């Protein structure tokens, strides 16, 4: 059933509708912007911030130096995002009751921000900083990513952009197949 007064390029806050929390771990529209990438953290031993007031917007682990991670991530100058050092103690989920160092993601330009690309860079840097601690939960990560290409590429120390380039043919095929089913912006 087609909606009225909505266009595909609109962000939720541009609809004029109130945000209704779809999940306790999706408290804000800002969370929804970072979620497509940050959900991949569930397939690692990095806390995705569940058990805090900013799940998916902040991330870390007891063995991460938040200051160093923030410095390195901001040094990448990824489009549409800056990182802020954060320390948090989850009330449930990974590292419950333990102080974690990490970052909070601040999206500065939603149209330039690339959630999955950003998260792949996060994983790459954490893996470089703490190869002795960082771990994938391979089956879970691969299901969240939809393929093992991403994890295997990161394990081989491939640059995140090279991994994403390898995924492009499948994404183009999917986008072509979905065109017939789009109600808006065909």
pLDDT band, very low/low/confident/very high, at 184 (cuts 50, 70, 90): confident
Instruction: Summarize the confidence of residues 14-30 as an average pLDDT.
Output: 94
| CA distance linking residue 93 with residue 61, whole number of Å | 12
Q: How far is CA 106 from the centre of its chain?
A: 12
Strands of the sheet containing 58-61, edge to edge, are 58-61, 100-107, 81-88
Given this model, what pLDDT does residue 186 score?
54
What is the residue-averaged pLDDT of the chain? 96
pLDDT over 90 percentage in the chain: 92
Tens digit of each residue's pLDDT (9 = 90 or more) over 28-54? 999 999 999 999 999 999 999 999 999
Q: What is the pTM of this model?
A: 0.95
Q: How many CA atoms lie within 13 A of 31 on its CB side?
A: 21
pLDDT tens for each residue of 55-113: 999 999 999 999 999 999 999 999 999 999 999 999 999 999 999 999 999 999 999 99
């Amino acid at each position: 059933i087609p909606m009225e007064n909505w266009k595909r390029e609109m962000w939720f806050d541009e609809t004029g509708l109130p945000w209704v929390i779809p999940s306790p771990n999706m408290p804000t529209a800002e969370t929804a912007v970072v979620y497509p990438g940050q959900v991949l953290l569930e397939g690692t031993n990095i806390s995705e911030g569940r058990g805090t007031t900013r799940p998916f917007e902040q991330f870390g682990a007891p063995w991460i130096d938040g200051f160093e991670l923030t410095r390195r991530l901001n040094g990448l100058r990824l489009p549409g995002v800056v990182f802020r050092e954060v320390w948090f103690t989850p009330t449930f989920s990974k590292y419950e009751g333990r102080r974690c160092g990490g970052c909070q993601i601040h999206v500065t330009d939603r149209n330039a921000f690339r959630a999955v690309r950003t998260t792949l860079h996060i994983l790459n840097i954490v893996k470089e900083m703490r190869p002795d601690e960082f771990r994938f939960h391979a089956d879970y990560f691969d299901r969240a990513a939809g393929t093992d290409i991403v994890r295997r590429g990161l394990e081989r120390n491939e640059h995140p952009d090279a991994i994403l380039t390898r995924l492009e043919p499948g994404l183009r095929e999917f986008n072509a197949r979905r065109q017939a089913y789009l109600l808006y912006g065909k």
